[in-house]
């Protein structure tokens, strides 16, 4: 299969502008006649649906949530990047582009990433105009902070609730289009299959989650913005309902899954505390602006802490190992996520972990509280503050910046992070892999587009912090409104697609058969118990460190688990009712197939890059080693009826020189 | 520490049938969240081939607004500024009986067990809770400076998660706190101020149309709001509403 990325010709910085002004356009009177299905109402879906509605297309938008505002994007905490250079610290579109390509360990497409950096600037303007209350300076201008993997301040934020505020902005725009009648919203409708007619994506099969009714919906084109697949690991920072079904069903209909093994393990999450745990909570990366990561230098100290005989505050300064600052002096606590996560694992594997399970490190704010306290005291003209005064003033600053995160931490753990350093450990967070798309964000299935976390396009093997929100909104507000025209311009004389075509009837029947099959197993174990087992296999065999033997074993285990699932799962209730267990059962079945392809991809990629760390490919100091000669390509997987097959899209770098990523 | 609990849970098959309380025994660990405790109960019910209790949830960290349990008579349970999903079992005592019901309000029909339909809140936003700006029409983000204090006040209102606890808490089933938070969030910003007159009238009209009750200044909404949205939002909306009605045509 020839994977044509359709990257426009010309110099990098001019590609998008030129392409935009020369691409085919659909006239307004024709737009009204063209129907577009958008699945998903997160940042990518809501921004796409509202923008396409504004342009005049007849849009139908679907979400399995009870309201578009509940999408997982709501939970993003830290911020959104943009190359505004308001901080005047040397930022530029090129620098954001360069940081993202480097941060992604040179496994993303130059042209896509450059376009993303260009759009970033407009996103902030758009959001401000919608009424997003970003953080501001005393002078009334927008405020910025820094995130990992970069040396400038380009992250815009709204306290610790940036995703919420951005999503509400997009939701409001979407609500406006709904009220104007250009978008029809289908809440509580879950896409369970893609319908392809004569080689083009023409519709979807959905389940009405309230009644269980299976419905056929048709349109001229289908846009998926259904988020990532991190929940394949069961425990992750993703919301509980996040799943891969829409994307995976499309793969089973011929779309390709690109770089599925590229998953991001986030270094700062609240550690696992027990078997009953249902999800993990992220502590935003923005905390690494001010928090210092450490473990005790002496193993005895760590053991005493594990046995609750000592506390973090009892360890003297000289007995602390600020291992990120020690190993990576240039970036210190702000190294990219993959590097920080692996470093935490190394310390814990050596026995220096600080929780009863030994799987945690400290994130400490005492130095920041002291530093801010001094600054504040000076601002107030107090040049001789007492220790207590410094602490009070410093805590106030820290609370203004991260108050809600500190509260969240205290609610979950019962510990007060102002008094005791936080305990954190890496957890699954984001998936860089996703549906393969070309420069137009179109998959290899004609008329099927993929946006946001659902596609693979911009983050290579590792995503930098605050870049997912940027990508979702760039795709939805500024890319798809143009690029969908490349497909729809050829469809202006295609009449309305009928949902009664044989392809729809057949797909509907398959969905119903599949549901009946799951319901009729009536086995012994709950869906949840299978999902937990799947998650453990994925984490142990395809997690932070991967080996050939481990992956081969993992693949066998998944295949067995899948066979057992289809013999022995118990799904209560029936199809024709509100049935969350059945919803889960369908999703977990898909995760089990996707999990296998993730492992196959990890096995194939015999190099370490970004979030993918193969133990066989490491330097003597334990740093990841890429193999550019053999693996500078996108691995795009075809499910091929259960015999997965890989296709390559070579990555060509014309502007950036491939270097060993060093943060030392 | 383990807690032996009795749960009195509202069971209702769908919105056409009536509901009733059922009692269950469950053993929870004090570190669990309230929802994880319900997971344990459901796992147990499924293993016994009984129908699990339907409840809604998603983020489990207090931001998506999906969870909607009334615990011992209080929407989101006993702790101030806390959603049901953020409530941990360490706040309950061994041997306690806990009552769990859905958010109750005339405008929120029960879907099943503890799940209600809060679509009316979306329709209030659709009536005018937005700024009319298309993608690509915006000027530079720093073109209009906004006082830090004003932006921060707007943010406080924008922090509403649309959970509907305020409605469930109100004896009149009023949606004033929710609606006013949106009106104030946008009205305080120069970008949103322009459309305020129309916005407030349309949103209030929709609120009435959906069958939400009148506000009689009881303040239960503020007390139960997990995001601590304050009553002065309602005062702000009332002012904006009267201004719009009396100065408009
Ligand atoms: C805790 C946390 C914090 C984060 N913080 C940041 C941050 O600070 N900065 C940053 O840049 N990124 C952050 N991220 C990442 C970022 O939030 C996500 O990558 C991004 O929001 C994904 O947006 P999306 O629109 O692609 O998908 P989502 O927001 O996941 O939306 C998916 C949508 O698709 C719908 N859907 C899915 N499947 C179906 C189906 N089969 N049928 C119908 N509808 C379906 C869902 O209902 C939903 O509406 C964070 C992630 C997490 C987990
Ligand atoms: S005002 Fe408070 S209680 Fe009401 S919907 Fe918003 S967050 Fe929930
Ligand atoms: S589940 Fe999201 S707020 Fe409770």
pLDDT in tens, A45-99: 999 999 999 999 999 999 999 999 999 999 998 899 999 999 999 999 999 999 9
C-beta separation of A577 from A509 below 8 A: no
Task: Tell me what pLDDT residue A661 has.
Answer: 82
- A90-131, pLDDT tens digit by residue? 999 999 999 999 999 999 999 999 999 999 999 999 999 999
For residue A663, what pLDDT band results from cuts at 50, 70 and 90? Answer: confident
C-beta separation of A205 from A507 below 8 A: yes
- Which B residues in the span 176-215 are in contact with A, Cβ-Cβ below 8 Å? 185-186, 189, 191-192
Question: In angstroms, what is the span from residue A79 Cα to ligand 2's centroid?
Answer: 23
Task: Tell me what pLDDT residue B72 has.
Answer: 98
- A468-501, pLDDT tens digit by residue? 999 999 999 999 999 999 999 999 999 999 999 9
**Could you give the domains of chain B?**
2-112 (3.10.20.30), 118-246 (1.10.1060.10)
Residue A148 pLDDT > 80, yes or no?
Answer: no
Task: Tell me what pLDDT residue B217 has.
Answer: 95
B140 CB within 8 Å of a chain A CB = yes
Shortest-distance ligand to the CA of residue B124: 2
Minimum Cα–Cα distance from B162: chain A residue: A69
Using CA atoms, how far apart are residues A618 and A616, in angstroms rounded to an integer?
6
Of A161, A529, A580, the CB nearest to B63: A161
A161 vs B189: CB contact, 8 Å cut-off?
A: no
Chain B environment of A158 (Cβ under 8 Å): 155, 158
Task: Tell me what pLDDT residue A142 has.
Answer: 97
Using CA atoms, how far apart are residues A24 and A15, in angstroms rounded to an integer?
15
- A242-288, pLDDT tens digit by residue? 999 999 999 999 999 999 999 999 999 999 988 889 999 999 888 98
In the numeric block, which tokens belong to residue A437? 């798309």
For residue A411, what pLDDT band results from cuts at 50, 70 and 90? Answer: confident
- DSSP string over A331-355: TGGGS-HHHHHHHHHHHHHTT---S
Percent of chain B clearing pLDDT 70 (strictly above): 99
**Strand A645-650's sheet: what is its strand order?**
A434-435, A257-258, A633-638, A645-650
Whether this model's ipTM surpasses 0.95 comes out as yes
B142 vs A141: CB contact, 8 Å cut-off?
A: yes
**Could you give the domains of chain A?**
266-426 (3.90.700.10), 502-642 (1.20.58.100)
Taking residues B187-198, what's their average pLDDT?
Answer: 97
C-beta separation of A616 from A559 below 8 A: no
Question: In angstroms, what is the span from residue B180 Cα to ligand 2's centroid?
Answer: 10
Task: Tell me what pLDDT residue A117 has.
Answer: 98
pTM for the model: 0.97
Q: Is B77 helix (H, G, I), strand (E, B) or coil?
A: coil
Residue B118 pLDDT > 80, yes or no?
Answer: yes
Main-chain dihedrals φ then ψ at residue A96, nearest 5 degrees: -65, -40
For residue A660, what pLDDT band results from cuts at 50, 70 and 90? Answer: confident
Task: Tell me what pLDDT residue A155 has.
Answer: 95
Task: Tell me what pLDDT residue A400 has.
Answer: 83
Residue A4 pLDDT > 80, yes or no?
Answer: yes
Taking residues A546-553, what's their average pLDDT?
Answer: 98
Task: Tell me what pLDDT residue B218 has.
Answer: 96
Does the beta carbon of B183 sit less than 6 angstroms from any atom of ligand 2?
A: no
Question: Which of these, A31, A108, A280, lies nearest to A634 by C-alpha position?
Answer: A108
Tell me what percent of chain A is helix, strand and coil, each rounded to the nearest 5: 45, 15, 40
Question: Which of these, B124, B135, B93, lies nearest to B208 by C-alpha position?
Answer: B124
In the numeric block, which tokens belong to residue A381? 């003209």
Question: In angstroms, what is the span from residue A207 Cα to ligand 3's centroid?
Answer: 23
Task: Tell me what pLDDT residue A485 has.
Answer: 97
Taking residues A526-531, what's their average pLDDT?
Answer: 97
Using CA atoms, how far apart are residues A197 and A207, in angstroms rounded to an integer?
20
For the beta carbon of residue A136, count every other beta carbon within 10 angstroms: 21
B39 vs A135: CB contact, 8 Å cut-off?
A: no
Residue B248 pLDDT > 70, yes or no?
Answer: no
Shortest-distance ligand to the CA of residue A411: 3
Percent of chain A clearing pLDDT 70 (strictly above): 100
Task: Tell me what pLDDT residue A387 has.
Answer: 94
Does the beta carbon of B67 sit less than 6 angstroms from any atom of ligand 2?
A: no
Q: Which residues of A are catalytic?
A: 337
Task: Tell me what pLDDT residue A621 has.
Answer: 87
Sign of CA dihedral A501, A503, A508, A513: positive
Number of Cα atoms under 13 Å in the Cβ half of residue B77: 20
Question: Which of these, A276, A414, A533, lies nearest to B2 by C-alpha position?
Answer: A276
Task: Tell me what pLDDT residue A285 has.
Answer: 84
CB within 8 Å of B160: residues ≥ 6 apart: B178, B181, B182, B185, B225, B227, B229
Q: Can you give the three-state secondary structure of A171-236, one letter per residue?
A: HHHHHHHHHHCCEEEECCEEEEEEEEECCEEEEEEEEECCCCCEEEEECCEEEECCCCCHHHHCCC
Percent of chain A clearing pLDDT 90 (strictly above): 92
Residue A201 pLDDT > 80, yes or no?
Answer: yes
- B122-156, pLDDT tens digit by residue? 999 999 999 999 999 999 999 999 999 999 999 99
Residue B249 pLDDT > 80, yes or no?
Answer: no
Using CA atoms, how far apart are residues B180 and B167, in angstroms rounded to an integer?
13
Minimum Cα–Cα distance from A124: chain B residue: B141
Task: Tell me what pLDDT residue B233 has.
Answer: 98
């Amino acid at each position: 299969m020839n994977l044509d990325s359709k990257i426009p010709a010309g110099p990098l910085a001019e590609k998008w502008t030129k392409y935009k002004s020369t691409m085919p356009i659909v006239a307004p009177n024709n737009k009204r006649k063209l129907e577009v299905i958008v699945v998903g109402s997160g940042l990518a879906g809501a921004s796409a649906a509202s923008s396409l509605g504004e342009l005049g297309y007849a849009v139908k938008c679907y979400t399995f949530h009870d309201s578009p505002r509940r999408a997982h994007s709501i939970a993003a905490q830290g911020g959104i990047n943009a190359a505004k250079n308001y901080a005047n610290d040397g930022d530029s579109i090129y620098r954001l582009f360069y940081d993202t390509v480097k941060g992604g360990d040179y496994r993303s497409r130059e042209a896509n990433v450059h376009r993303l950096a260009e759009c970033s600037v407009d996103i902030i303007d758009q959001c401000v105009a919608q009424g997003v209350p970003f953080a501001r300076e005393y002078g009334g201008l927008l405020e910025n902070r820094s995130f990992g993997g970069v040396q400038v301040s380009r992250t815009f934020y709204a306290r610790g609730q940036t995703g919420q505020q951005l999503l509400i902005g997009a939701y409001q725009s979407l609500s406006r289009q709904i009220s104007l009648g250009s978008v029809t919203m289908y809440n509580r409708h879950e896409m369970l299959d893609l319908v392809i007619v004569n080689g083009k994506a023409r519709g979807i099969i959905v389940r009405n989650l309230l009644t269980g009714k299976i419905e056929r919906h048709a349109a001229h084109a289908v846009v998926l913005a259904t988020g990532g697949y991190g929940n394949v690991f069961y425990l992750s920072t993703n919301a509980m309902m996040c799943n891969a079904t829409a994307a995976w069903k499309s793969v089973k209909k011929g779309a390709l899954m690109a770089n599925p093994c590229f998953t991001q393990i986030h270094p700062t999450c609240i550690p696992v505390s027990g078997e009953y745990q249902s999800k993990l909570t992220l502590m935003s990366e923005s905390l690494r602006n001010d928090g210092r990561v450490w473990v005790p230098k002496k193993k005895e100290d760590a053991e005493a802490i594990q046995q609750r005989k000592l506390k973090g505050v009892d360890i003297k300064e000289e007995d602390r190992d600020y291992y990120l600052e020690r190993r990576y002096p240039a970036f210190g606590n702000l190294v990219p996520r993959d590097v920080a996560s692996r470093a935490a694992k190394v310390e814990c594997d050596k026995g220096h972990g600080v929780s009863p399970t030994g799987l945690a490190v400290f994130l400490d704010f005492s130095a920041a509280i002291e530093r801010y306290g001094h600054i504040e005291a000076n601002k107030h003209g107090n040049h001789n503050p007492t220790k207590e005064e410094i602490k009070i003033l410093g805590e106030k600053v820290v609370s203004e910046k991260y108050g809600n995160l500190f509260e969240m931490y205290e609610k979950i753990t019962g510990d007060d992070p102002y008094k005791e350093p936080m305990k954190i450990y890496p957890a699954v967070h984001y998936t860089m892999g996703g549906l393969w798309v070309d420069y137009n964000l179109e998959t290899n299935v004609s008329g099927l587009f993929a946006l946001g976390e659902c596609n693979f396009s911009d983050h290579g093997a590792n995503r930098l912090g605050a870049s997912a929100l940027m990508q979702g909104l760039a795709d939805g507000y500024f890319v798809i409104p143009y690029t969908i025209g490349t497909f729809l311009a050829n469809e202006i004389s295609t009449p309305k697609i009928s949902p009664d075509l044989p392809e729809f009837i057949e797909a509907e029947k398959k969905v119903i058969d599949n549901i009946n099959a799951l319901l009729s197993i009536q086995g012994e174990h709950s869906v949840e118990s299978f999902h937990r087992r799947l998650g453990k296999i994925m984490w142990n065999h395809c997690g932070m460190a991967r080996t050939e033997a481990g992956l081969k074993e993992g693949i066998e285990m998944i295949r067995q688990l899948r066979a057992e699932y289809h013999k022995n799962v118990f799904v209560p209730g029936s199809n024709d009712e509100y049935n969350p267990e059945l919803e889960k059962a369908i999703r977990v079945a898909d995760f089990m197939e996707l999990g296998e392809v993730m492992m196959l991809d990890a096995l194939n990629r015999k190099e370490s890059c970004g979030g993918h760390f193969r133990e066989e490919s490491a330097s003597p100091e334990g740093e990841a080693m890429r193999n550019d000669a053999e693996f500078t390509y996108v691995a795009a997987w075809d499910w091929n009826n259960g015999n997965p097959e890989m296709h390559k899209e070579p990555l060509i770098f014309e502007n950036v020189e491939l270097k060993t990523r060093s943060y030392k | 520490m383990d807690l032996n609990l009795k749960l009195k849970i509202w069971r209702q098959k769908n919105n056409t049938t009536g509901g009733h309380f059922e009692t269950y025994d469950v053993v929870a660990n004090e570190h669990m969240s309230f929802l994880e405790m319900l997971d344990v109960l459901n796992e147990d019910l499924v293993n016994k081939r009984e129908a699990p209790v339907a409840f809604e949830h998603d983020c489990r960290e207090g931001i998506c607004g999906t969870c909607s349990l009334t615990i011992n008579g209080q929407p989101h349970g006993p702790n101030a500024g806390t959603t049901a999903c953020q409530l941990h079992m360490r706040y309950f005592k061994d041997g306690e009986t806990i009552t769990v019901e859905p958010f109750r309000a005339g405008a929120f029909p029960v879907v099943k067990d503890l799940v209600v339909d809060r679509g009316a809140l979306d329709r209030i936003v659709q009536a005018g809770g937005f700024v009319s700006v298309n993608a690509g029409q915006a000027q530079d983000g720093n073109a209009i400076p906004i006082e830090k204090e004003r932006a921060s006040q707007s943010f406080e209102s924008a922090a509403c998660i649309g959970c509907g606890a305020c409605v469930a808490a109100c004896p009149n089933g009023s949606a004033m706190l929710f609606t006013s938070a949106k009106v104030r969030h946008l009205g305080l910003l120069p970008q949103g101020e322009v459309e305020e007159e129309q916005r407030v009238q349309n949103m209030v009209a929709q609120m009435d149309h959906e069958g939400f009750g009148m506000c009689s200044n009881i303040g239960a909404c503020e007390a139960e709001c997990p995001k601590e949205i304050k009553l002065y939002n309602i005062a702000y909306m009332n002012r904006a509403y009267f201004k719009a009605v009396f100065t408009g045509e």
